[in-house]
Amino acid sequence: MASPVYLRKDGNVAVITLDNPPINALAHAVRIGLLDVIESADGDPDVGAIVIHAAGRMFVGGADIKEFDAGPAAPLLNDVLLRIEACSKPVIAAVHGTALGGGFELVLATHYRIASAGASFGLPEVKLGLLPGAGGTQRLPRLIGPQLALELMLTGEILTAQKALDLGILDRISGSPDVSVVALEWARQLVEAHAQPRRTRDRNVDATGIDNAFFDTQREQATRRHKGVESAPSIVRCVEAAVAQPFEAALGFSRQLFEQARTSVSSRALRHLFFAERGTRVARDPRAVANVAVLGAGTMGAGIAMSLATAGYAVTLIDTKPEAVSAGLKRVRDTINVSAAKGRLTQSAASEAVARVAASTDFEATSSADLVIEAVFESKSVKHEVFEQLDKLCKPGAVLASNTSTLSIDRIASATARPADVVGMHFFSPANIMRLVEIVRGAQSSETAIATALAVAKRMGKLGIVVGNCFGFVGNRMFYGYGRENQLMLLEGAGALRIDSVLKKFGMAMGPNAVGDLAGLDVGYRVRRERTDLPPDPRYYRVADLLVEAGLLGQKTGSGMFRYGEGAREPMENPEVEAMIAAEARRLGVTRREFTDGEIVERCILALVNEGARILGEGIAATAADIDAIWCNGYGFPRFRGGPMFYADTLGLAQVLTSVRRLAAEHGGLYWSPAPLLVELAERGDTFAKWSGERELQAASGHR
């Protein structure tokens, strides 16, 4: 098998090419090959300079993330880069495309640096719970100073070639797109001029104005910005060492901290999500989509429309109420223009996106659409009626998608004579911001229709995950279990602010009570009125129902579970509601008591895990990673914990099962009957991740 690194000589210049598609990741074989050719070129008396460049669309996209689970294998990238830096003749990096992570560290270890005008650079390791482990924390501060280096590493910001040149990271920007040709000529000039290597490690760190207080502040800020991610404050410690210690000692220290980060739960969680969020792959090709109709011009419909328009689709926003169409169009235009004002879009891109959105009050405007996304009132009868009309109006081959959050796609599809073309596309609010889309597969949804929905979601910049059809699909079905325990604990004596505070401390973006107030308590109330499968329990969501029946709907009425000051979103205790809950608990005969933080977390989070296991066992979700991606992207589950199923694996499924069985003994089996898959995996010592991996392999074998 050919090496992914090869060397050729062009006169007195050795040209080293990295060729490990698709991103030239610095995998073990690449490191072996690179070390071998560097030593060969440095030891060749006929070579006066060395150029390192890469084949394909980019320089180096980073390390091979899959290797981090296996542990370090010699040669380490750190050792390869030290050998490059130690070369006795000039080494030039010729960069095109992106140089990220270890790729940027490779650039920093060379002596001279040139890049194409479109190149970009970054050290985004913190996003994976890691830190630059091959000298980036030591070399970058020597080039641009500790403050800027920390900013780049703690934000993961991507630098343009021009910015890298301005900062002194690059020496030149190539005027030609073929940067390797320009680098080769420069190498010849360096040889002719008898230029010597310029080792970044030999430079002093400019620590002007930097003291211990600076690093203390940076650590505090890093800890707050990257909650639960141990590598963030470790990056600060590494840069502090770069200022205070000799290069070799500080480099060794940074390597120790890298290994600690690599094996941390937070990094394993973030790496797990990195792969989970690559999205669903399907065997079929999607249908071509140019025109999309969105039914319903409310907040959700307008958000979907603006996401489609900014992705380049021609959009028709349809609502039977003229005033709703006008308001929806205004919302689309205003939001897109605000994005331009904030620099997220260029003014020309914003103008083009706005121009792509047309409006109509006539359902016949769907007749030319390649895809229709329905975002009307969450009612079985309303959606059934809408799809009956779409079946008559839409052209053959159009994909008909419902944005329902809980209702059966099969029931909706039954209103048409083309159920194979009907899918769910469950967007999350606000749809122009939230990344997740659950792509719901009905019993008769075709692979082509699913592929089309996925392709559109991807072009919109969304994460599309295919799920099966049941009440609430994956995300909302699990949320009902999570919310159920919150509602029961409210009756049992836990305060709403207390519950929210404990779960936020666990890492949730918001507590369940604040979420309910933000969404509007009437939304869930209407869904429950539509259901025929509610448990025979008068306590089930009784607190939420009580508030809605009293007209306390949340933020939109100024009061829900919490009180809100005029124009304020910060929740405050609501004594009136607390009294209502206490009275209802007495009426229902519920004994009230004190709760520990651990009980609150256990009941809410294990409710998620147990329902997730049930969903996996039923085949509603394909893998545990899909569930984790859904919950981390749609429901604010802490990324540093990897999602509910990954979190359960870190606890150990035997421990999880023991806890669920104890909760069943304490609270009854109505809600706490252990999922069969949880029992099966716990008893044989398996994990959700291992089980999912085995299922994926089986599925792949079946496709072959």
145-179 pLDDT per residue, tens = 999 999 999 999 999 999 999 999 999 999 998 99
Banded pLDDT at 298 (limits 50, 70, 90)? very high
516 neighbors 562 (Cβ within 8 angstroms): no
Is residue 282 situated within a structural domain? no
Task: Say if residue 108 is in the same domain as residue 191.
Answer: yes
Q: CA 628, CA 634: separation in Å to the nearest integer?
A: 10
* Secondary structure class of 35 (helix, strand, coil): helix
Pairing of strands 13-18, 5-10: antiparallel
CATH number at residue 436: 3.40.50.720
The region of weakest confidence among 74-83, 182-191, 326-335, 523-532 is 523-532
Active site residues: 105, 125
Residue 279 lies in a domain: no
- Residue in the structure block whose two tokens are 């290797």: 67
Residues 302 and 417 in one domain: yes
Do 499 and 447 fall within a single domain?
Answer: no
550 with 460, same domain: the answer is no
**Residue 271 falls within a domain, yes or no?**
no
Task: Look at residue 171 and give its three-state secondary structure.
Answer: coil
User: Distance between CA atoms of 346 and 329, rounded to whole angstroms?
Assistant: 20
Range 413-439 average pLDDT: 97
> 424 and 306 in one domain?
yes
Specify the number of domains making up the chain.
3
Q: Is residue 270 part of a domain?
A: no
Specify which residues 99 forms β-bridges with.
60, 121
Beta-bridged to residue 455, according to DSSP, are none
Q: What is the CATH number of the domain that holds 480?
A: 1.10.1040.50
- My answer on whether 230 and 342 are in the same domain is no
Local confidence band at 279 (pLDDT 50, 70, 90 cut-offs)? low
H helices, E strands: number in the chain: 30, 17
Task: Provide the residue range defining the domain that includes 339.
Answer: 291-467
Cα three-residue angle 665-669-670, rounded to 5 degrees: 145
Does position 528 have pLDDT exceeding 80, yes or no? yes
Q: In what order do the strands lie in the sheet with 98-100?
A: 98-100, 120-122, 159-160
Q: 704: pLDDT confidence band, cut at 50, 70 and 90?
A: very low
Among 467, 489, 511, give the residue marking a domain's end.
Answer: 467
The DSSP output letter for 285 is P
Same domain, 81 and 137: yes
Looking at residues 41-59, what average pLDDT do you find?
97
Domain identity same for 234 and 298: no
Residue 257 lies in a domain: yes
Res. 585 pLDDT band, cuts 50 70 90? very high
Domain of 108: which CATH number? 3.90.226.10
Indicate the residue among 467, 496, 515 that finishes a domain: 467
Read out DSSP for 341-352? HTTSS-HHHHHH
Mean pLDDT for all residues in the chain: 96
Residue 108 within a domain? yes
599-617 mean pLDDT = 98
In terms of domains, do 434 and 491 share one? no
Residue 568 has pLDDT above 70, yes or no: yes
Please state, for a pLDDT cut of 90, what percent of the chain lies above it. Answer: 94
Does 358 reside within a domain? Answer: yes
Residue pair 471/477 in contact (Cβ under 8 Å)? The answer is yes
284 in a domain, yes or no? Answer: no
What is the distance between the alpha carbons of residues 221 and 233, in angstroms, rounded to a whole number? Answer: 8
Boundary-marking domain end, from 420, 446, 467: 467
Query: Are residues 546 and 463 located together in one domain of the fold?
Result: no
Mean pLDDT over 577-595 rounds to 97
Instruction: Say how far residue 40 (Cα) sits from the centre of its chain.
Output: 42
Q: How many residues does the chain have?
A: 704
Mean pLDDT of 411-437: 96
In this prediction, residue 283 carries a pLDDT of 67
Q: Are residues 204 and 305 in the same domain?
A: no
Closest CA to 226 of 100, 102, 128, 101: 128
Q: Are residues 528 and 409 located together in one domain of the fold?
A: no
